[in-house]
Amino acid sequence: MTAFSLEPGQRAWCAELRTLAAERLRPLADKGEPGHVNRPLVTELGHLGLLARLFTSGALDLCLMRESLAYACTEAETALALQGLGAHPVHAHGTAQQRERWLPLVSDGSAVAAFALSEPGAGSDAAALSLTAHPDGPGRWRLTGEKCWISNAPEADLYTVFARTTPGAGARGVTAFLVPADRPGLTGTGLDMLSPHPIGALDLDAVPVTAADVLGEVDGGFRVAMGTLNLFRPSVGAFAVGMAQAALDATLEHTARREAFGGRLSDLQAVSHEVAEMALRTEAARLMVHAAATAYDDGAPDVPKRAAMAKLLATETAQYVVDRAVQLHGARALQRGHLLEHLYREVRAPRIYEGASEVQRGIIAKELYKDLEADR
């Protein structure tokens, strides 16, 4: 059953999260170094019990967490989300030994996780992975190749690495491996990106892995990747909605008090209509995110389509809202340290990672035509 409004308890929890983000997480985020893992921030997320909830919450609760944290502290939101993205394959597909070793460490913030899917030649086209798992005896492989644009790399403690185990098999020849950062042959470098969170490249030079490191089944890694993305795509939309709401609220406050042209900016119809459009799009995106997350929790058959729609609409909406907020604030919003200057840098990447907007449109179209064929 699609939820169009939140229960009072959910609304209260969101308010509590916004307060925690502003009062306890924002100060730690401000002390962090852009482009590097902020371990004190990750540890505090663990102390607050938020990381553990990644593995006990449904998709809707994940969306509420991400939107609420993003509103007050995007760095905390991203740190939480990356722990979930990197470790969800372990939670969902790992062996008892893998889960027992790593999930408590990820949950208390003492181990940092990363999701290593993208490559220099295989970003949006995940089925084109070239990092190869070369056989090295029964139940043993050597991973050789590169990963690129990996969040939390090269500072993570564990990586979910997707490698090709069967050449020429496309999506059906990929396997997911749990690779600790201290494995011989695994090195990495940080990348200087627009987004302030840590992103890096990994080089794997005959990194040894065994059957005990496989997540799921051999040659079943694409299902591991897509299952993870179907869960997290709506919550990427929630991250975007949180940023859009923060930009909208800042714009309401600014235009209501800013004196210009003999009155307040909010008295100008062009301005008030712009703000109304920002609010309209933000709320529409929020509803679609909640609908997609609820569909996931209900086990609906159209989750891939709904997840793609939610991520696409919300991330494109956030880009629009933040951009318009900057325009209505004027030059002050471009000053380093201003909320909107920060959001303007943060808002761009979600339209690319975990499936670019163009990929989402492709998924939506594919699902629509599949439904058409099924009805015939």
> Which active-site residues does the annotation give?
354
Output the CA–CA distances (angstroms, integers) from residue 151 to 62, 117, 133, 353, 362, in the order listed. 19, 10, 22, 10, 24
**Alpha-carbon distances of 252 from 257, 272, 274, 315, rounded to whole Å:** 9, 9, 11, 21
> Measured between alpha carbons, how far is 209 from 375 in angstroms, rounded to an integer?
45
Q: How far apart are CA 55 and CA 68, in angstroms?
A: 18
Torsion of CA 42, 91, 105, 354, to 10 degrees: -30
As a whole number of angstroms, the distance between CA 361 and CA 125 comes to 14
Residue 187's SS3 state is strand
Q: How far is the C-alpha of 232 from the C-alpha of 88, rounded, in Å?
A: 10
CA–CA distance, 69 with 242 (Å, rounded to integer): 8
